[in-house]
Amino acid sequence: MPKLQNQSANDLARYQRLSHRHRLTLTLSGRDSQQDTIEFVVENLSDGGFSFQSDRSLEVGTVFVVELPATAPVEAEVVWADSQRHGCRFHEKLTSAQLAAARLKAEPAIPVPAFVDSIDTSEAKYPKQIRTIILAACAVVPWAVAYALFINRP
């Protein structure tokens, strides 16, 4: 169970519901108060905070500066920690432009399956002439069936 900062569960639940979280994978770095570099991978991001994984274990209450893409560095504070997973809140909410810039640099949270890249679309199954006939038949046959069904109705 993650360690929580000295706040009531209701306060934390209310904070968690304030912002929409964007699932993503974004590698970032930051600096703590001793100017040590912290490398981490963001798992979700909102205008109010983010969760991440890091090789370093950070204590609840640790304040550090996050270097977001295409924006000035912002301060964040660890509000929960569970081994290498952490949750942080920004001291000042991100603007929509800052959030959008970070999301643009991120990778999708759900990786694309490997088989998608292996599909060969360069070689058609049928020659162009046959594909044209099939397409025309698919366009004409339903109308012919509809006409035949409804022509003899009173």
Pairwise CA distance, residues 25 & 7, whole Å: 28
Judge whether residue 90 has pLDDT over 60. yes
Domain that holds residue 10: 3-108
Give domain status of residue 147, yes or no: yes
What's the mean pLDDT in 89-98?
89
Same domain, 76 and 141: no
The answer on 79 and 23 residing in a single domain is yes
* For residue 76, pLDDT beyond 90: yes
pLDDT band, residue 140 (cuts 50/70/90): very high
Q: Residue 4: pLDDT above 70?
A: no
Note whether 22 and 86 are same-domain residues. Answer: yes
Residue 59 and residue 25 share a domain = yes
Per DSSP, what are the bridge partners of residue 78?
Answer: 88
Q: What confidence score (pLDDT) does residue 68 get?
A: 85
Is 60's pLDDT higher than 90?
yes
Q: Could you say which DSSP state residue 21 is in?
A: -
Q: Taking Cα atoms as reference points, which of 39, 88, 45 lies closest to residue 67? A: 39
Residues 104 and 128 in one domain: no
- 85 and 9 share a domain? yes
pLDDT computed for residue 12 by the predictor: 54
* 90, 21: one domain: yes
Structure tokens at 90: 């920004």
State how many domains the chain has: 2
What CATH number corresponds to the domain at position 88?
2.40.10.220
> Quick one: pLDDT at residue 1?
45
What are residue 4's DSSP bridge partners?
Answer: 80
pLDDT at 65: 92
3-state secondary structure of 49: strand
Residue 136: count of CB within 10 angstroms of its CB:
10
